[in-house]
Structure 1
Amino acid sequence: MIEEKFTFIDLYCGAGFGARGLVDAGGAPLLAIDAWPLAARTYKDNFPGAPVICTRVEDLDPIAVAKKYQPNLLMASPECTSHSVARGGKPGCESSRRTALHILPWIRALEPRWVIIENVSRMRLWKRHPELITGLRDLGFGPGHLTEVLLNAVDFGAPQSRERLFLIGDRHALAPLPSRIVAAPGCVRRSASSILDAPGTWLTSPVYKPGRAQATLDRAARARSAIGRDQSYLMVYYGSDGAGGWQTLDAPLRTVTTLDRFALVERVGNVDRMRMLQPTELTKAMLGLDQQHQIKFGNRRQRVKLCGNGICAPVTSAIAAALTRANSLESHSRLELNPSPTQRANRAACLA
């Protein structure tokens, strides 16, 4: 068992993939909040010792929460859909974007040492993004205590190419926070083939069958033209695709979204057969080597959405390790020499 180093509260927690990374790094969840009942239920299933509140973050009083919980770290993954290019030409929703600003009252009330805020890279283009940065600086995350980095999950051992923006803060850093986060020594890049369930686990159907969409047939033709008739590959749906709507299995999986977008195509005899990737496989893409986390509630479409809404666990694990080791850990220990009775009770409860 990893020794507990810190406690955390998880806002917009989703299914808990990001929390899994923090736990792997020695964290203990004190509280999680998400408005989607299925996400809240999944989080509770994976972290049964952590209270989970199913409501909108902005509908809770952070001051009241602070009377019960004093976390070392606050993690938040505010809504990203209105920043994302995945919306195509659809206009964004400003109330959705504003969820990022709802984090500030929580930081003010809880006074965590560390903060981790995750979103898509285009959040930096939001007109109120500077307001978020200014708010964080006013709350103690000034120069040297806040860094803004783009991290790709594949660089941290997740078999998925998923680049996201992270705002990372440490109120009590003894040295300026690094401008980049690196993976632990020995971390290897993993391919899409590593997430596949055993052959024969799922039913397949012929690629070339009556009623198949022409766009699907065109993707299959482009793939076969490039790689030959016998090699397996992944067909990729949705989004602008300069790669022709497919990818090889020896490359990392492209970004998992909330929509069903990947189909495995294999040559069986003289026939190309295909099936969609399953939630069990997408879960592996979010976790890397960690297989403790389970997504077992909801229908298939909902479980795919739970995966697409998550943060890859190896990334949050690497961030937490960077924050809690070396001089950060030394300072953290000094600050926690005399924890309050509430802090001791919270830690005992979440570790029980």
Structure 2
Amino acid sequence: MTFTDLQATSWGFTDPGYGLTMADLFAGLGGSSTGAIQRPGIKLVVAANHWQLAIDSHSANHPDAEHVCADISQYEPRLFPHTDLLWASPSCTKHSVAQGKKRADKQPDLFGETLPDEAAERSRATMWDVVRFAEYHAYEAVIVENVVEVTSWPPYRAWLAAMDSLGYEHQVIHNYGISRNVSVCPDRSLPDFDPTGG
């Protein structure tokens, strides 16, 4: 399935019986899953996050999906249900310029916590978990949502090359602060991958 085919099917088809299944890694509270399943034919099968509160909220919003509370970096992809699509939102706070260049790992997060250097590096490394899961499951398409600044992450090109080496082509879409009713989304980068020659 090419990226164009995917757009014509999962993001624009009208036959609700077609059916593509989806996994949501680093699921948060469920906004990405909610947006995805509003498209006809998308079925959320499983969502995962390391934070129990996020899993509890996501589960309340998506009670029909399986929920996994685990550190994805320590989770074996073979234990994860296979789906057609992967939506992944790896940790972005340590890529964002909102953190400041010199204080990137020392600025407290929303809850006043400051990550030690090792944890901050692990936060950035969650991007590689996408590669691990894509390698094992060979998804029809992978959508990765993150801040635009992730493209300045030193291993970003190596990360893209790793996805390309799995047979995926990529298209990077930037979403610059789109206003949605009351809230404003931060600038986002959405690398989308589809298998080559599909």
**What range describes the TM-score normalised by the shorter chain of this pair?**
0.7 to 0.9
Residue of structure 2 equivalent to 1:262: none
Counterparts of residues 1-352 of structure 1 (less than 5 Å):
3=16, 5-26=19-40, 27-65=42-80, 69-88=81-100, 89-92=102-105, 93-141=120-168, 145-152=169-176, 154=178, 158-159=180-181, 160-171=184-195
SS of residue paired to 2:145: strand
SS of residue paired to 2:172: strand
Q: CA deviation at 1:153?
A: 5.6
**Are the equivalent residues in 2 in contact too, given 1:113–1:172 (CA < 8 A)?**
no
Distance 1:158 1:173 in 2: 36
Q: CA deviation at 1:152?
A: 3.2
Q: CA deviation at 1:34?
A: 0.3
Residue of structure 1 equivalent to 2:111: none
Aligned length: 166
Output one character per residue of 1:78-135: Cα deviation in whole Å (capped at 9) or x when no partner.
Answer: 0111111222342332221001011111001111100000111111111110111011
Could you tell me the percent identity over the aligned residues? 25
Distance 2:197 2:58 in 1: 31
Q: Which runs of 5+ in 1 are unaligned?
A: 175-352
SS of residue paired to 1:137: helix
Output one character per residue of 1:330-349: Cα deviation in whole Å (capped at 9) or x when no partner.
Answer: xxxxxxxxxxxxxxxxxxxx
The one-letter amino acid paired with 1:158 is R
Q: 1:161 to 1:55 in 2, by over 3 A?
A: closer
Output one character per residue of 1:224-274: Cα deviation in whole Å (capped at 9) or x when no partner.
Answer: xxxxxxxxxxxxxxxxxxxxxxxxxxxxxxxxxxxxxxxxxxxxxxxxxxx
Q: Which runs of 5+ in 2 are unaligned?
A: 1-13, 106-119
Q: 1:53 to 1:130 in 2, by over 3 A?
A: same
Normalised by the size of structure 1, how large is the TM-score?
Answer: 0.45
The one-letter amino acid paired with 1:8 is M
Distance 2:145 2:197 in 1: 20
**Are the equivalent residues in 1 in contact too, given 2:171–2:192 (CA < 8 A)?**
yes
Q: CA deviation at 1:173?
A: 6.5
| RMSD of aligned Cα (Å) | 2.0
Normalised by the size of structure 2, how large is the TM-score?
Answer: 0.77
Distance 2:163 2:104 in 1: 27
Q: 1:150 to 1:94 in 2, by over 3 A?
A: same
Name the one with the larger strand percent: 2
The one-letter amino acid paired with 1:54 is C
Which of structures 1 and 2 has the bigger CA Rg? 1
**Are the equivalent residues in 2 in contact too, given 1:119–1:164 (CA < 8 A)?**
yes
Distance 1:7 1:44 in 2: 17
**Are the equivalent residues in 2 in contact too, given 1:147–1:169 (CA < 8 A)?**
yes
SS of residue paired to 2:125: helix
**Are the equivalent residues in 1 in contact too, given 2:147–2:186 (CA < 8 A)?**
no
Distance 2:151 2:94 in 1: 12
Distance 1:2 1:162 in 2: 33
